[in-house]
Structure 1
Amino acid sequence: MSTSLIILAAGKGTRMNSELPKVLHPIAGDPMLVHAMAAGAMLEPVHTVVVAGHGAAEVTAAAHAYDETARVVVQSEQLGTAHAVAQARDALADFNGTAIVLYGDTPFVSPDTLEQMMEAGKTADVVVLGFEAADPGRYGRLVVEGASLERIIEYKDATEDERAITLCNSGVIACNAALLFDLIDAVGNQNAAGEYYLTDIIGLARARGLTAAAVTCDEAETLGVNSRAQLAQAEAAFQSRARAILMEDGVTLQAPDTVYLARDTVIGRDAVIEPNVVFGPGVTVESGAHIRAFSHLEGCHVSQGAIVGPYARLRPGTELEENARVGNFVEVKNAVIAEGAKVNHLSYIGDAFVGAGANIGAGTITCNYDGVMKHHTHIGARAFIGSNTMLVAPVHIGDGAMTGSGSVITSDVEPDALALARAPQVEKPGMARKLFEMLKAKKAKQQRGS
């Protein structure tokens, strides 16, 4: 059964009090919009149509960053959800299949729930996602008779008896695309808000003798985000669920509540994550790796047996091969640390390759930027880089080579060679005592003058 997605993302989000469009506020490192797109992507949709409005250019950029094939259409005037969905008509003109309407500010609807809706669509013309609300509040209510969904009534237009219903509308709908747009054409705006409600298509479908059904999910999946407080609530909900899944899958989180994960974080079984570790987008940690406390990782890959931290930062493009070690106060960016290599203390390794078994001394820096361009540093296998070495890229250190501590290396070093690049030490007997006496006398004179 072919599927296309229509994701509504036009709202400004006034309650967010932000210049950023509401759907672009991040949860677990990615915009809410991307969470919705990712859930729908599990259905392998033929088309993904994002309906933008406020901040359309920014919304378009975010949508294409996740899926460059997504179509973005603009709802220039926000007249209600039915009007928003109608903007996708031309984009789906040649599509013959089921359209699922999702919301960019409702990021947690699961792929399993969407699969259930698709299954229900085999026997019902229109399928609506509902949930039993602990506090129904101002949600629209689903009016069900037996197995049939009769209509959806908005809170503003509901009677007291209808407001007593606890089965609420999430807004997510699945329907044959051609039928969906045909029903939308019949939607009016004779209601308390004067808007064109997508929910009205249920009553219209029933009036035509068509069938409608409700699929239910956990209320947590339908969490909508309309304020900063709700954004924080959504972040906490995501983190709690993601941590629980990792622990069920065999990952050790020593202090789960202090570990922050991204939407796409992948961590293998028997990995150990110490307290206060933050994962940005694009991180894969393989089985048996050990991430020590207060480390920050993004856009990197950590292989089996590797150890990171404490207090380490792995930036995008970092690749740690098996049993590599990156220690405290080390930053690595766009670099490969090969098998068994060690960068243990107070170093910056950027735009570089560190060969297998190499040892990088404390305070080493790859000087990769000349003010205009970045340059590459190659450190060969089993090389020993002395503490406080500056490697001025582009430079190639051969296999088994060594640099003396405090060296500034500006030229290539042959394999197995020792490179020294520092001024010779000069010792002047008694000069330290004389210098201190001069300085103390100068200070005393200044104090008398003041």
Structure 2
Amino acid sequence: MQSDLPKVLHRLAGVPLIGHALAAARSLEPEQIIVVAGHGGDKVASATAKLDPEAEIVRQTEQLGTGHAVRQTLPALEGFEGKVIVLYGDTPFIGQDTLAALSSHPADVVVLGFEAEDPGRYGRLVVTDRGLERIVEFKDADEATRRIALCNSGVMALDAALLRKLIVRIDNNNAAGEYYLTDLVELARAEGHRADVVTCDEEETLGINTRAELAQAESAFQTRARAEALENGVTLSDPETVWFALDTVIGRDAIIGQNVVFGPGVTVESGAEILPFSHLEGCHVSAGATVGPFARLRVGAELGSDVHVGNFVEIKNSVLDEGVKVGHLTYLGDASVGEHSNIGAGTITCNYDGVMKHRTQIGARAFIGSDTMLVAPVRVGAEAVTGSGSVITDDVEDGALALGRARQANKPGLGVRLMQALRARKEKR
């Protein structure tokens, strides 16, 4: 990857690659998830804790192959009775149906295979009428074996007790000097256990090893996500310009304009509209709401039904109740806005004092005049009004008018004389 960042932490669809593997694993509702952190282990462990706090981390201090990696999980698997499925943090597209087929297959060892258009340097699966006989790594394969098109994805499912018994018998007597997980197949068969293959489309097994492959994977994900959105009744005005995250949820009859970007954690309910050039992350948009154009919803933004957030508006960690209107050029951070309130252009909640964040509370049906600065912590009551250009530092009671600006003074003729003096100064330079 030509990067200081561990490969599995490079982002695809808004989340690290390992997040895709974790999401796939969670689809099976497993008893436990164990992440083997090798290269860049501290960073991988930290990212995993944020993505899936319940996942257990084990360390592989030396990178000696897939068999060696799985062996590090033995203490965590002690006493577990059931099936173990081995996934890879750089293989993001394994589908839920494929994993279900692996977990339900009756064979003692089940390997996920695929028919490759260009088998290249993949390991080959040697299958007979007795099932999967062995997996041969490309480096160790003869010419006849290399002509086999059925390839190994690396994904495997097997009984936990059998794994504990056999994993310690794997050696590194091969061309790479590594401990191959794939050797489990021959070890199991030697003891009379059956091994078999579940197949999937090649696209599911795409592994990420370069920046170019990461870009190809992003393109593939976005193409699929756009098609699913259209199929589910979402209108995309220009599908090729809309970008989704792994967990984006959009209800039917929602309308998404051109050049809209969804970061992680976004839910848009049915009938909402996101206008062009808007960016959303970690937020919820209720039915009937409109957002944009050129709006930004940040983490913690909660928009009630029929809310309007207009152009060049930024919302962060704020709740806007039903019918609130925030037309343009406004920042609302750490705020609560009551139903049917109107927020004028240029309004800012001054929520940060340099050390702490503070909240602004605006009651129902309040009217916040243009260019109002709300210096938090502060409360504006229901049906209260603030005058344009006000700086509000004290609470405003229900129904009151708050004016917080300096008195205007007009100086007759001074404007003309001032401009004349400035022009004369400019001519002398």
TM-score, structure 2 normalization: 0.98
Q: Distance in 2 between matches of 1:71 and 1:393?
A: 41
Question: What amino acid is the match of 2:124?
Answer: R
Aligned twin of 2:380: 397
In the alignment, structure 1 residue 331 sits paired with structure 2 residue 314: yes
Task: Report the CA distance between 1:377 and its aligned residue.
Answer: 0.9
In the alignment, structure 1 residue 142 sits paired with structure 2 residue 122: no
Aligned twin of 1:7: none
Written as runs of structure 1 = structure 2, the 5 A alignment for 1:230-249 is 230-249=213-232
- Partner of 2:33: helix, strand, or coil? strand
Q: How many residue pairs get matched?
A: 429
Paired residue for 1:43, among 11, 25, 28? 28
Task: Report the CA distance between 1:289 and its aligned residue.
Answer: 0.4
Aligned twin of 1:25: 10
In the alignment, structure 1 residue 111 sits paired with structure 2 residue 87: no
In the alignment, structure 1 residue 252 sits paired with structure 2 residue 243: no
- Partner of 2:93: helix, strand, or coil? coil
Q: Distance in 2 between matches of 1:161 and 1:254?
A: 52
Paired residue for 1:187, among 170, 176, 190? 170
Task: Report the CA distance between 1:203 and its aligned residue.
Answer: 1.7
Written as runs of structure 1 = structure 2, the 5 A alignment for 1:212-227 is 212-227=195-210
> Which segments of 5 or more consecutive residues in structure 2 lack a partner in the other structure?
none
Deviations 1:248-284 (A, max 9, x none): 1111111111111111111111101101111111111
Paired residue for 2:254, among 248, 253, 271? 271
Aligned twin of 2:403: 420
Paired residue for 2:63, among 71, 78, 86? 78
Deviations 1:392-427 (A, max 9, x none): 111111111111111111111122221112122222
Task: Report the CA distance between 1:181 and its aligned residue.
Answer: 2.7
Task: Report the CA distance between 1:343 and its aligned residue.
Answer: 0.4
Aligned twin of 1:10: none
In the alignment, structure 1 residue 369 sits paired with structure 2 residue 355: no
Deviations 1:18-40 (A, max 9, x none): 11111111111111111101101
In the alignment, structure 1 residue 298 sits paired with structure 2 residue 276: no
* Contact 2:84–2:158 (Cα < 8 Å) also in 1: yes
Question: What amino acid is the match of 1:33?
Answer: I
Q: Distance in 2 between matches of 1:308 and 1:404?
A: 26
Q: Distance in 2 between matches of 1:71 and 1:256?
A: 39
Identity level (%):
65
Q: Distance in 2 between matches of 1:327 and 1:229?
A: 37
Aligned twin of 1:5: none
Aligned twin of 2:302: 319
- Partner of 1:261: helix, strand, or coil? coil
Task: Report the CA distance between 1:356 and its aligned residue.
Answer: 0.7
> Which segments of 5 or more consecutive residues in structure 1 lack a partner in the other structure?
1-15
Q: Distance in 1 between matches of 2:232 and 2:428?
A: 71
Q: Distance in 2 between matches of 1:88 and 1:300?
A: 36
Task: Report the CA distance between 1:431 and its aligned residue.
Answer: 1.7
Question: What amino acid is the match of 2:76?
Answer: A
In the alignment, structure 1 residue 206 sits paired with structure 2 residue 224: no
Question: What amino acid is the match of 2:356?
Answer: M
The verdict on how the C-alpha distance between 1:274 and 1:147 changes in structure 2, with shifts beyond 3 A counting, is farther
In the alignment, structure 1 residue 87 sits paired with structure 2 residue 72: yes
RMSD over aligned CA atoms reads 1.1
Aligned twin of 2:293: 310
Question: What amino acid is the match of 1:38?
Answer: A
TM-score, structure 1 normalization: 0.93
